[in-house]
Amino acid sequence: MSEVTSEKVKVIVLLAPPGGGKGTQAQKLVERFGMTHISVGDVLREEVRKGSALGGQVKEIMESGELVSDELVAEIIKSRLTGKAKSNGFILDGYPRNVAQAGYLTSITDQMLVRVINIAVAEDQVVKRLSGRRFCGKCGKIYNIYFSPPAVTAVCDDCGSELIQRSDDTEEVISERLRVYAQQTRPVLDYYRSAGSYFEVDGNWDPGNVHEEVAKVVGAISG
Protein backbone atom coordinates (compact mmCIF):
# COMPACT_ATOMS: atom_id res chain seq x y z
CA MET A 1 0.00 0.00 0.00
CA SER A 2 1.46 3.38 -0.93
CA GLU A 3 1.72 5.96 1.78
CA VAL A 4 -0.09 9.26 1.36
CA THR A 5 2.19 12.16 2.23
CA SER A 6 1.27 15.79 2.47
CA GLU A 7 3.64 18.70 2.88
CA LYS A 8 3.68 20.12 6.38
CA VAL A 9 2.58 23.71 6.97
CA LYS A 10 5.61 25.93 7.61
CA VAL A 11 5.73 28.24 10.60
CA ILE A 12 8.52 30.80 10.85
CA VAL A 13 8.89 32.25 14.32
CA LEU A 14 10.63 35.64 14.20
CA LEU A 15 12.22 36.60 17.50
CA ALA A 16 13.90 39.94 18.25
CA PRO A 17 13.99 42.55 20.99
CA PRO A 18 11.41 45.37 20.74
CA GLY A 19 12.54 47.53 17.82
CA GLY A 20 14.56 44.64 16.42
CA GLY A 21 12.75 44.76 13.09
CA LYS A 22 10.34 41.81 13.37
CA GLY A 23 7.48 43.65 11.69
CA THR A 24 9.64 44.99 8.87
CA GLN A 25 11.20 41.59 8.19
CA ALA A 26 7.83 39.84 8.36
CA GLN A 27 6.46 42.24 5.77
CA LYS A 28 9.38 41.55 3.44
CA LEU A 29 8.87 37.78 3.81
CA VAL A 30 5.18 38.18 2.99
CA GLU A 31 6.12 40.03 -0.21
CA ARG A 32 8.81 37.53 -1.24
CA PHE A 33 7.36 34.17 -0.17
CA GLY A 34 3.62 34.88 0.00
CA MET A 35 3.39 33.77 3.61
CA THR A 36 0.64 34.76 6.07
CA HIS A 37 1.75 37.29 8.70
CA ILE A 38 0.47 36.95 12.27
CA SER A 39 1.40 39.88 14.50
CA VAL A 40 -0.14 39.67 17.96
CA GLY A 41 0.78 43.33 18.61
CA ASP A 42 -1.04 44.46 15.43
CA VAL A 43 -4.12 42.39 16.31
CA LEU A 44 -4.21 43.91 19.80
CA ARG A 45 -3.60 47.48 18.59
CA GLU A 46 -6.47 47.09 16.12
CA GLU A 47 -8.77 45.96 18.96
CA VAL A 48 -7.74 49.02 20.99
CA ARG A 49 -8.36 51.27 17.99
CA LYS A 50 -11.83 49.78 17.45
CA GLY A 51 -12.63 50.19 21.15
CA SER A 52 -13.74 46.54 21.49
CA ALA A 53 -14.08 44.73 24.82
CA LEU A 54 -10.78 42.95 24.17
CA GLY A 55 -9.16 46.28 23.32
CA GLY A 56 -10.42 47.75 26.58
CA GLN A 57 -8.91 44.82 28.47
CA VAL A 58 -5.41 45.21 26.99
CA LYS A 59 -5.00 48.96 26.41
CA GLU A 60 -3.44 49.87 29.73
CA ILE A 61 -1.21 46.82 29.83
CA MET A 62 0.17 47.58 26.38
CA GLU A 63 0.72 51.23 27.24
CA SER A 64 2.76 50.19 30.27
CA GLY A 65 5.05 47.91 28.23
CA GLU A 66 3.97 44.72 30.05
CA LEU A 67 2.78 41.52 28.38
CA VAL A 68 -0.93 40.74 28.19
CA SER A 69 -2.05 37.38 29.59
CA ASP A 70 -0.88 34.13 28.03
CA GLU A 71 -4.48 32.84 27.79
CA LEU A 72 -5.59 35.83 25.82
CA VAL A 73 -2.79 35.69 23.24
CA ALA A 74 -3.08 31.88 23.04
CA GLU A 75 -6.58 32.28 21.65
CA ILE A 76 -5.42 34.77 19.04
CA ILE A 77 -2.60 32.48 17.93
CA LYS A 78 -4.61 29.28 17.91
CA SER A 79 -7.51 30.66 15.89
CA ARG A 80 -5.14 32.05 13.27
CA LEU A 81 -2.78 29.07 13.04
CA THR A 82 -5.61 26.61 12.67
CA GLY A 83 -7.29 28.84 10.08
CA LYS A 84 -6.37 28.34 6.46
CA ALA A 85 -2.84 29.46 5.56
CA LYS A 86 -3.14 31.61 2.45
CA SER A 87 -0.32 29.71 0.80
CA ASN A 88 3.20 29.22 1.96
CA GLY A 89 2.73 29.00 5.69
CA PHE A 90 2.82 31.48 8.54
CA ILE A 91 5.17 34.05 10.03
CA LEU A 92 4.74 34.62 13.74
CA ASP A 93 5.83 38.11 14.77
CA GLY A 94 5.80 38.77 18.51
CA TYR A 95 4.87 35.27 19.65
CA PRO A 96 6.09 33.54 21.78
CA ARG A 97 7.21 36.19 24.30
CA ASN A 98 7.89 33.85 27.24
CA VAL A 99 8.74 30.19 27.83
CA ALA A 100 5.15 29.22 28.71
CA GLN A 101 3.97 30.60 25.35
CA ALA A 102 6.78 28.71 23.58
CA GLY A 103 5.58 25.48 25.23
CA TYR A 104 2.02 26.18 24.15
CA LEU A 105 3.13 26.87 20.59
CA THR A 106 5.01 23.55 20.51
CA SER A 107 1.86 21.76 21.67
CA ILE A 108 -0.33 23.15 18.86
CA THR A 109 2.21 22.83 16.03
CA ASP A 110 3.30 19.20 16.33
CA GLN A 111 2.03 18.53 12.78
CA MET A 112 3.76 21.64 11.38
CA LEU A 113 7.32 22.51 10.38
CA VAL A 114 8.50 25.16 12.84
CA ARG A 115 11.72 27.13 12.33
CA VAL A 116 12.88 29.93 14.61
CA ILE A 117 14.92 32.92 13.46
CA ASN A 118 16.35 35.27 16.07
CA ILE A 119 17.23 38.74 14.80
CA ALA A 120 19.99 39.85 17.17
CA VAL A 121 20.28 43.63 17.66
CA ALA A 122 22.45 45.67 20.05
CA GLU A 123 20.55 47.47 22.83
CA ASP A 124 21.69 51.01 21.93
CA GLN A 125 20.38 50.40 18.40
CA VAL A 126 16.94 49.31 19.57
CA VAL A 127 16.54 52.33 21.85
CA LYS A 128 17.23 54.68 18.93
CA ARG A 129 14.98 52.72 16.61
CA LEU A 130 12.08 52.78 19.07
CA SER A 131 12.41 56.32 20.38
CA GLY A 132 12.90 57.65 16.83
CA ARG A 133 10.04 55.67 15.27
CA ARG A 134 7.15 57.70 13.82
CA PHE A 135 4.40 56.69 11.43
CA CYS A 136 1.87 58.42 9.26
CA GLY A 137 -1.55 58.41 10.89
CA LYS A 138 -3.18 58.24 7.46
CA CYS A 139 -1.16 55.99 5.12
CA GLY A 140 0.90 54.12 7.73
CA LYS A 141 4.33 54.88 6.22
CA ILE A 142 7.06 54.38 8.83
CA TYR A 143 9.89 56.86 9.50
CA ASN A 144 12.70 57.22 12.00
CA ILE A 145 13.76 60.72 13.03
CA TYR A 146 17.41 59.54 13.33
CA PHE A 147 17.77 57.14 10.38
CA SER A 148 15.06 57.95 7.84
CA PRO A 149 13.45 61.32 8.67
CA PRO A 150 10.71 62.91 6.56
CA ALA A 151 11.68 65.94 4.42
CA VAL A 152 9.55 68.20 6.63
CA THR A 153 9.51 67.54 10.39
CA ALA A 154 6.48 65.49 11.51
CA VAL A 155 4.86 65.49 8.06
CA CYS A 156 4.46 62.43 5.81
CA ASP A 157 6.44 62.71 2.53
CA ASP A 158 3.81 60.70 0.66
CA CYS A 159 0.46 62.09 1.80
CA GLY A 160 1.24 65.21 3.85
CA SER A 161 -0.50 63.94 6.98
CA GLU A 162 0.82 64.31 10.50
CA LEU A 163 3.33 61.75 11.82
CA ILE A 164 2.56 60.14 15.14
CA GLN A 165 4.37 58.06 17.72
CA ARG A 166 3.20 54.70 19.10
CA SER A 167 2.03 55.26 22.69
CA ASP A 168 4.51 52.60 23.89
CA ASP A 169 7.48 54.15 22.06
CA THR A 170 8.09 56.77 24.76
CA GLU A 171 11.35 56.55 26.73
CA GLU A 172 9.78 55.37 29.97
CA VAL A 173 7.82 52.57 28.30
CA ILE A 174 10.77 51.58 26.10
CA SER A 175 12.88 50.82 29.16
CA GLU A 176 10.05 48.73 30.62
CA ARG A 177 9.64 46.80 27.35
CA LEU A 178 13.38 46.08 27.29
CA ARG A 179 13.26 44.92 30.90
CA VAL A 180 10.34 42.60 30.12
CA TYR A 181 12.23 41.33 27.06
CA ALA A 182 15.39 40.54 29.05
CA GLN A 183 13.49 38.84 31.84
CA GLN A 184 10.78 36.94 29.96
CA THR A 185 11.60 36.69 26.26
CA ARG A 186 15.36 36.10 26.24
CA PRO A 187 14.90 32.68 27.91
CA VAL A 188 12.81 31.69 24.86
CA LEU A 189 16.07 31.73 22.83
CA ASP A 190 17.49 28.95 25.03
CA TYR A 191 14.25 27.01 24.77
CA TYR A 192 14.63 26.92 20.98
CA ARG A 193 18.43 26.56 20.90
CA SER A 194 18.10 23.28 22.72
CA ALA A 195 15.24 22.18 20.43
CA GLY A 196 17.57 22.36 17.40
CA SER A 197 15.45 24.35 14.94
CA TYR A 198 17.04 27.70 15.72
CA PHE A 199 18.87 30.18 13.47
CA GLU A 200 20.35 33.57 14.29
CA VAL A 201 20.93 36.54 11.99
CA ASP A 202 22.74 39.82 12.65
CA GLY A 203 20.02 42.48 12.77
CA ASN A 204 22.30 45.49 13.18
CA TRP A 205 22.43 46.13 9.42
CA ASP A 206 19.91 47.93 7.28
CA PRO A 207 16.58 46.13 6.66
CA GLY A 208 17.49 45.05 3.09
CA ASN A 209 20.68 43.25 4.23
CA VAL A 210 18.94 41.66 7.19
CA HIS A 211 16.19 40.45 4.87
CA GLU A 212 18.71 38.66 2.63
CA GLU A 213 20.02 36.74 5.64
CA VAL A 214 16.52 35.89 6.88
CA ALA A 215 15.43 34.86 3.37
CA LYS A 216 18.39 32.45 3.09
CA VAL A 217 17.11 30.58 6.13
CA VAL A 218 13.48 30.61 4.96
CA GLY A 219 14.39 29.57 1.40
CA ALA A 220 16.44 26.62 2.65
CA ILE A 221 13.65 25.13 4.76
CA SER A 222 12.37 21.82 3.56
CA GLY A 223 10.24 19.28 5.28
In whole angstroms, give the CA distance from residue 98 to residue 202. 22
- Closest distance between ligand AMP and the C-beta of residue 179, in Å? 11
Catalytic residue among 22, 28, 45, 59: 22
Please say if 115 is a catalytic residue: no
Residues near ligand AMP, by CB under 6 A: 18, 40-41, 44, 61-62, 65-68, 73, 94-97, 101, 168, 177
Contacts 24+ apart (CB under 8 A), 50-55: none
Residue 15 neighbours by CB under 8 Å, 6+ apart: 22, 116, 117, 118, 119, 185, 188, 189, 192
- Comparison of 125 and 155: residue with beta carbon closer to ligand AMP: 125
- Comparison of 40 and 156: residue with beta carbon closer to ligand AMP: 40
- Comparison of 48 and 218: residue with beta carbon closer to ligand AMP: 48
Please say if 133 is a catalytic residue: yes
In whole angstroms, give the CA distance from residue 109 to residue 8. 10
Catalytic residue among 28, 59, 97, 134: 97
Residues written for the chain: 223
Report the catalytic residues: 22, 97, 133, 166, 177
